[in-house]
A and B are shown apart, each in its own frame.
Chain A
Amino acid sequence: SAVISQKPSRDICQRGTSLTIQCQVDSQVTMMFWYRQQPGQSLTLIATANQGSEATYESGFVIDKFPISRPNLTFSTLTVSNMSPEDSSIYLCSVNKGGNYGYTFGSGTRLTVV
């Protein structure tokens, strides 16, 4: 299965600022996803990162707040913009090769907004 390197592992940020999270995969994968896990909650899909085109966002998430880049099949970034304390969560990237393959997740970014 793929190996994902996710950075940073954690950060404490001031409200109103932005943070960019990076995920690097050790092999080419078609599908890459970004999730949010709010404190005490399960995972919620933010968007699917598409290579060469705009990301596909889930209901409740917008590009202005969570811009995503996917310049190639091994790399993606998620930016959390104009942060507020409500954005304090764990953010995770994930990949899947499609079909009956399972999902692989990054090690997560624990974000605290003060």
Chain B
Amino acid sequence: KQEVTQIPAALSVPEGENLVLNCSFTDSAIYNLQWFRQDPGKGLTSLLLIQSSQREQTSGRLNASLDKSSGRSTLYIAASQPGDSATYLCAVKGGANNLFFGTGTRLTVIP
């Protein structure tokens, strides 16, 4: 069964810093990988979607990379802002529309 792990579980950084969130998965047979943001008590907002054939995707200050062979993805956030404070979840899509979630990284950006 696919297992998805995110490191670190929590991260606190001063405003303006660049940061990297990590996601690893055990089964490389994936369709795609998605990064989500979740604010406390709320739903999930999709940030980036990387297909299994792609290496990276960019949206504004966010860049996500995918190394399928090693089972790893990173989410890079440039010039962090207090508004970036949230929990970030990665999820991999396997066969039969199974979506496997990581445990999340809780990010706090200190003004």
Question: Which residue of the partner chain A has the closest CB to B103?
Answer: A42
Q: Are B42 and A103 in contact (CB under 8 A)?
A: no
Q: Quick check: A108 and B46 within 8 Å, CB to CB?
A: no
The A interface is mostly helix, strand or loop, or mixed, namely strand
Residues of B within 8 A of A102 (CB): 32, 34, 46, 49, 93
B36 within 8 A of A: yes
Q: Are A98 and B32 closer than 8 Å at their CB atoms?
A: no
Looking at chain B, what size class is its interface with the partner chain? Answer: 20 to 34
Bound Cα distance A107, B52 (Å): 27
User: What are the interface flags for B23-67 relative to A under an 8 Å C-beta threshold, 1 for contact and 0 otherwise?
Assistant: 000000001101010000111111001011000000000000000
Q: Enumerate A60-114 residues with CB–CB distance to B below 8 Å.
A: 90, 92, 94, 96, 98-100, 102-108, 110
5 smallest CB-CB distances across A and B, nearest first, come from: A108-B43, A102-B49, A105-B44, A107-B43, A42-B101
Q: List 26 A-B contacts (CB under 8 A).
A: A1-B46, A42-B102, A43-B44, A45-B99, A48-B97, A90-B43, A92-B43, A96-B97, A96-B99, A99-B31, A100-B31, A100-B51, A102-B34, A102-B49, A102-B93, A103-B91, A103-B93, A104-B46, A105-B44, A105-B45, A106-B43, A108-B41, A108-B42, A108-B43, A108-B44, A110-B41
